[in-house]
Structure 1
Amino acid sequence: MKFAVIVFPGSNCDADLYCAVKDELGEEAEYVWHAEEDLSGFDAILLPGGFSYGDYLRSGSIARFSSIMKEVKKAAEEGKPVLGICNGFQILLEAGLLPGAMKVNEGLKFSCRHSELIVLNNQTMFSTAYEKEEKISIPIAHGEGNYYCDEETLKELKAGERIVFTYGDNPNGSIEDIAGIVNEKGNVLGMMPHPERAVDAILGSADGLKLFQSIVKNWRETYVTAS
């Protein structure tokens, strides 16, 4: 399986994702500059954390206009796994690939620490390796991670079981403790915590590795075994 790690000006977690895929998962990975216009050779798309374009205007608001985003949308429409982490999640929101918006953390401070997550839905292509309601330890590092959506959107997220991860110790004020959501089709996941920084016990937790293993297993069952 081949992963594209999209690199925007200001990305700083691209190497973390690349190493998680190559060294821990044992799959192919390649950096793709944001100005590129073709993702057809990749099976999954990863949007890393960081400060794309310096987070000017709003986090992710400029990156959404990068040339590569047309291809990211195309990949999502084709059913390919698309994962946006932290700033990547913010970009997916700004691009309209996921509903809602990000506000400044409730405490108005940047938060960087391990956070407890609860696996609310373990039936997505990103979460099948987990047990339902499993508690996992995943690092966070953000100043604008306070997820918000209107009541109608929240009802839709709940009804469609699209809330994949919630915080056990809500660090930012996110509505309903939301830490990660998927689109209606279930192939686009946005999450603020960093699973790529929790793929080996030496990092303090290996709980994030199951997310990447879930992607590979479900992709192979769909595109390799089935064929």
Structure 2
Amino acid sequence: GVCNGCQMMSNLRELIPGSELWPRFVRNTSDRFEARFSLVEVTQSPSLLLQGMVGSQMPIAVSHGEGRVEVRDAAHLAALESKGLVALRYVDNFGKVTETYPANPNGSPNGITAVTTESGRVTIMMPHPER
């Protein structure tokens, strides 16, 4: 699921096996609609969509007003990270994971912008790889 599909699927996580730790996607920290190219890095995860791309850094279109990751609590964020379910992160022009605007257009913690299920069969992301 991409962008609005990502938001919808994160709200339906009770129906998607292996997505129990998925966050919600809420209003950007800037409180604005953000439309630009940002840089992301593919992280080690079970995502079938991004298989074979670990470590790749690439520009990607961003176009959203509600793309900031919101986890239930610090324990859920730690579990999401430790289980390797983060599939993409925003990085700055030095290739470092960032929470800083404008490289991270929405303020998501740890630069998270895509997550996947434990099986890797379902991946959701806020940026638009199809554009």
Counterpart in the other structure of 2:57: 135
1:182 aligns with 2:123: no
Tell which has more relative contact order, 1 or 2 (C-alpha 8 A, sep 6+). Answer: 2
Instruction: Report the CA distance between 1:108 and its aligned residue.
Output: 0.5
- For 1:100, the equivalent position in structure 2 comes to 23
In structure 2, the residue matched to 1:148 is 70
Tell me the percent identity.
31
Measured at CA, do residues 123 and 188 of structure 1 come closer, stay the same or move farther in structure 2, by a change above 3 Å? closer
Structure with bigger gyration radius: 1
Matched, 1:110 2:33: yes
SS at match of 2:130: helix
Aligned to 2:83: 160
Q: Deviations over 1:39-77 (max 9, x none)?
A: xxxxxxxxxxxxxxxxxxxxxxxxxxxxxxxxxxxxxxx
SS at match of 2:127: coil
Cα contact 1:121–1:127 (8 A) shared by 2 = no
Residues of 2 paired with 1:181 and 1:167: CA distance? 13
**TM-score (normalised: structure 1):** 0.47
Question: Tell me, which stretches of 5 or more residues in structure 1 are unaligned?
Answer: 1-83, 198-227
Q: How far apart are residue 133 of structure 1 and its match?
A: 2.0
Q: Give the deviation of 1:111 after TM superposition.
A: 0.5
8 Å Cα contact 2:46/2:85 also seen in 1: no
Distance 1:122 1:185, change over 3 A: closer
Q: Distance in 2 between matches of 1:140 and 1:124?
A: 20
Residue 137 of structure 1: SS of its match in structure 2? strand
SS at match of 1:196: coil
Q: Which has the higher helix share?
A: 1
Counterparts of 1:44-83 in structure 2 under 5 Å?
A: none
The alignment covers a number of residue pairs equal to 113
* 8 Å contact kept, 1:180–1:191: yes
